[in-house]
A and B are shown apart, each in its own frame.
Chain A
Amino acid sequence: MQKKIRKYVFTKKLDAFFIGLLDASQFVARYFKEVFKGPFEFAEFKKQCYMMGIKSLPLITLTGLVTGIVFTKQSRPSLQELGAVSWLPSLIAIALIRALAPLITSLISAGKIGSNIGAQLGSMRVTEQIDAMNVSGVNAFKYLVVTRVSASTVMIPILMMYFAFVGLIGSFINVYVGENTSFISYFQEAFSPISFLDVLTGLFKSIAYGLTIGLVGSYKGYNASKGTEGVGLAANQAVVISMFLIFVEEIVIVQISSWIRLA
Chain B
Amino acid sequence: METESSIIINDLHISFGDMHILNGINLTVLKGENVVVLGRSGSGKSVLIKIIAGLLKPDSGTIITLGKNMNTISEKELRELRQKIGFSFQNSALYDSMTIFENIAFPLQRNAKQLTKVELEKAVFGALDAVGLEQTANQMPSELSGGQRKRIGIARTLILKPELMLYDEPTAGLDPITCIEINNLIVELQQRYNSSAIIITHDLTCAKTTGHRVAVLLNGQFVSEGSFESVFATTEPIIKQFYDYNFIN
Taken together as a complex, chains A and B put the C-alpha atoms of A49 and B82 apart, in Å, by 30
Complex Cα spacing A3 to B113, Å: 49
By the criterion CB–CB under 8 Å, are A139 and B79 in contact? yes
Which residues of the partner chain B approach A134 to less than 8 Å between Cβ atoms?
55, 82
Query: Is A131 in the interface zone, CB < 8 Å from B?
Result: yes
Chain B residues numbered 102-160 whose CB sits less than 8 Å from any CB in chain A = 106-107, 110-111, 113, 153, 156-157, 160
Q: Determine which of B20, B55, B110, B153 lies in contact with A4 in the assembled complex, contact meaning CB atoms within 8 Å.
A: B20
When distances are taken between beta carbons in the complex, the residues of chain B under 8 Å from A135 are: 53-55, 82, 85, 87
User: Would you give the shortest CB distance from B80 to chain A, in whole angstroms?
Assistant: 7
Q: Mark A137-154, 1 if CB is under 8 A from B, else 0.
A: 111000100000000000
- Min CB distance B42 to A, Å, is 8
Cα–Cα distance between A139 and B54 once the two chains are bound (Å)? 13
Whether B106 pairs with A1 at a CB distance below 8 angstroms is no
- Distance in Å: Cβ of B192 to nearest Cβ of chain A: 20
Please tell me which one of the listed residues A128, A131, A136 contacts residue B83 in the complex, with CB atoms under 8 A apart. A136
**Contact residue among A1, A129, A137 (Cβ-Cβ distance under 8 Å from B107):** A137
In the bound complex, do residue B93 and residue A137 qualify as a contact, i.e. CB atoms below 8 Å apart?
A: no
Nearest Cβ on chain A to B194's Cβ, whole angstroms: 20
Nearest CB in chain B: distance from A129 CB, A:
5
Residue contact A136 to B18, C-beta cutoff 8 Å: no
Q: Which of A118-171 contact B (CB under 8 A)?
A: 124, 127-129, 131-139, 143
B107 touches A136 (CB 8 A): yes
Q: Are A136 and B106 in contact (CB under 8 A)?
A: yes
Which chain A residue has the least Cβ–Cβ distance from B82? Answer: A137
A131-B93, A132-B89, A137-B107 given; A3·B82 CB < 8 A: no
A154 to B91, CA, bound (A): 35
Identify the interface centre among B20, B80, B113, B153: most chain A CB within 10 Å of its CB.
B20
User: For chain B, which range describes its interface: under 10, 10 to 19, 20 to 34, or 35 or more residues?
Assistant: 35 or more
Name the distance in Å between A212's Cβ and chain B's nearest Cβ: 25
For residue A222, give the distance in angstroms from its CB to the closest CB of chain B.
14
Within 8 A of A (CB), among B153-173: 153, 156-157, 160
Indicate if the CB atoms of A2 and B106 lie closer than 8 Å.
no
Residue A6, interface by CB 8 Å: yes
Interface of chain A, main secondary structure: loop
| A:27-58 near B, CB below 8 Å | 39
Complex: A136 Cα to B86 Cα, angstroms: 7
- Are A129 and B95 in contact, with the CB atoms below 8 A? yes
Q: Are B106 and A128 in contact (CB under 8 A)?
A: no
- Supposing A1-B219, A4-B18 touch, asked if A138 and B107 sit within 8 A by C-beta, the answer is yes
CB contact between B220 and one of A1, A136, A137 (< 8 Å): that residue: A1
| Closest CB in chain A relative to B77 CB, distance in Å | 11
Q: Hey, what's the 0/1 contact readout for B36-68 against A, CB within 8 Å counting as 1?
A: 000000000000001001110000000000000
Give the shortest distance, in Å, between B23 (CB) and chain A (any CB): 8
Pairwise interchain contact B79-A137, C-beta atoms closer than 8 A: yes
| A139 to B, closest residue via Cβ | B79
B residues 8-22 near A (Cβ < 8 Å) are 15, 17-21
Task: Provide the residues of chain B in CB contact with A2, threshold 8 Å.
Answer: 20, 23
Per-residue contact bits, chain B 230-243, to A (CB 8 Å; 1 contact, 0 not):
00000000000000
B75's nearest neighbour on chain A, judged by CB, is: A139
Chain A positions within 8 Å of B, measured between CB atoms, are: 1-4, 6, 39, 124, 127-129, 131-139, 143
Considering the complex of A and B, which 7 residue pairs feature the smallest CB-CB distances, nearest first?
A136-B107, A132-B93, A137-B83, A128-B93, A135-B87, A137-B82, A138-B110
Beyond A2-B20, A3-B19, A136-B87, 13 extra complex contacts between A and B, CB < 8 Å: A4-B15, A4-B19, A4-B20, A127-B91, A127-B93, A131-B50, A132-B87, A135-B55, A135-B85, A136-B83, A136-B111, A137-B80, A137-B107
